[in-house]
Amino acid sequence: MDAARLNRIQWRCRRGMLENDLVLTRFLAAHGPRMTEEEIAMLDRLLDLPDNELWDLIARRAEPQDAAVAPMLARLRAA
Protein backbone atom coordinates (compact mmCIF):
# COMPACT_ATOMS: atom_id res chain seq x y z
CA MET A 1 0.00 0.00 0.00
CA ASP A 2 1.36 3.41 -0.85
CA ALA A 3 2.01 5.98 1.88
CA ALA A 4 -0.85 8.30 0.87
CA ARG A 5 -3.39 5.49 1.05
CA LEU A 6 -2.03 4.30 4.39
CA ASN A 7 -2.30 7.85 5.75
CA ARG A 8 -5.93 8.04 4.60
CA ILE A 9 -6.76 4.76 6.31
CA GLN A 10 -4.94 5.86 9.48
CA TRP A 11 -6.95 9.07 9.50
CA ARG A 12 -10.22 7.12 9.15
CA CYS A 13 -9.15 4.88 12.06
CA ARG A 14 -9.06 7.85 14.41
CA ARG A 15 -12.34 7.36 16.22
CA GLY A 16 -14.29 9.11 18.94
CA MET A 17 -14.31 5.95 21.05
CA LEU A 18 -10.94 5.23 22.66
CA GLU A 19 -11.40 1.45 22.53
CA ASN A 20 -11.85 1.50 18.75
CA ASP A 21 -8.98 3.93 18.36
CA LEU A 22 -6.60 1.67 20.28
CA VAL A 23 -7.53 -1.52 18.44
CA LEU A 24 -7.41 0.10 15.01
CA THR A 25 -4.14 1.95 15.67
CA ARG A 26 -2.41 -1.20 16.90
CA PHE A 27 -3.73 -3.20 13.99
CA LEU A 28 -2.50 -0.69 11.41
CA ALA A 29 0.90 -0.41 13.08
CA ALA A 30 1.32 -4.17 12.80
CA HIS A 31 -0.33 -4.89 9.45
CA GLY A 32 -1.04 -1.64 7.59
CA PRO A 33 1.77 -1.54 5.03
CA ARG A 34 1.19 -5.18 4.04
CA MET A 35 -2.59 -5.04 3.63
CA THR A 36 -4.06 -6.17 0.33
CA GLU A 37 -6.66 -4.25 -1.66
CA GLU A 38 -9.30 -6.72 -0.50
CA GLU A 39 -8.35 -6.19 3.16
CA ILE A 40 -8.41 -2.42 2.71
CA ALA A 41 -11.89 -2.65 1.20
CA MET A 42 -13.12 -4.75 4.14
CA LEU A 43 -11.62 -2.32 6.65
CA ASP A 44 -13.16 0.64 4.81
CA ARG A 45 -16.58 -1.01 5.09
CA LEU A 46 -16.11 -1.52 8.81
CA LEU A 47 -14.96 2.07 9.24
CA ASP A 48 -18.22 3.25 7.70
CA LEU A 49 -20.01 2.00 10.81
CA PRO A 50 -20.76 4.25 13.79
CA ASP A 51 -18.35 3.85 16.71
CA ASN A 52 -20.75 1.94 18.96
CA GLU A 53 -21.64 -0.58 16.26
CA LEU A 54 -17.99 -1.08 15.37
CA TRP A 55 -17.05 -1.63 19.00
CA ASP A 56 -19.89 -4.12 19.47
CA LEU A 57 -18.46 -6.12 16.56
CA ILE A 58 -14.87 -5.97 17.78
CA ALA A 59 -15.90 -6.84 21.36
CA ARG A 60 -17.93 -9.83 20.09
CA ARG A 61 -21.21 -8.40 21.32
CA ALA A 62 -22.57 -8.64 17.78
CA GLU A 63 -21.81 -10.37 14.52
CA PRO A 64 -21.58 -8.52 11.21
CA GLN A 65 -24.62 -8.33 8.99
CA ASP A 66 -22.23 -8.15 6.04
CA ALA A 67 -20.45 -11.51 5.90
CA ALA A 68 -17.88 -10.04 3.50
CA VAL A 69 -16.19 -8.17 6.37
CA ALA A 70 -15.92 -11.23 8.65
CA PRO A 71 -12.26 -12.01 7.78
CA MET A 72 -11.16 -8.45 8.63
CA LEU A 73 -13.25 -8.46 11.78
CA ALA A 74 -11.55 -11.69 12.88
CA ARG A 75 -8.15 -10.05 12.39
CA LEU A 76 -9.20 -6.97 14.39
CA ARG A 77 -10.52 -9.16 17.19
CA ALA A 78 -7.18 -10.96 17.37
CA ALA A 79 -5.17 -7.72 17.43
In this predicted model, what pLDDT tens digit does every residue of 18-59 receive, in sequence order?
999 999 999 999 998 899 999 999 999 999 999 999 999 999
List the domain range (segments joined by +) for residue 10.
3-78
CATH for 63: 1.10.150.250
- What values do phi and psi take at 69, rounded to 5? -95, -5
Q: Rounded distance, CA 65 to CA 27, Å?
A: 22
- pTM score over 0.95: no
Looking at residue 56, its pLDDT comes to 97
Domain count, the chain: 1
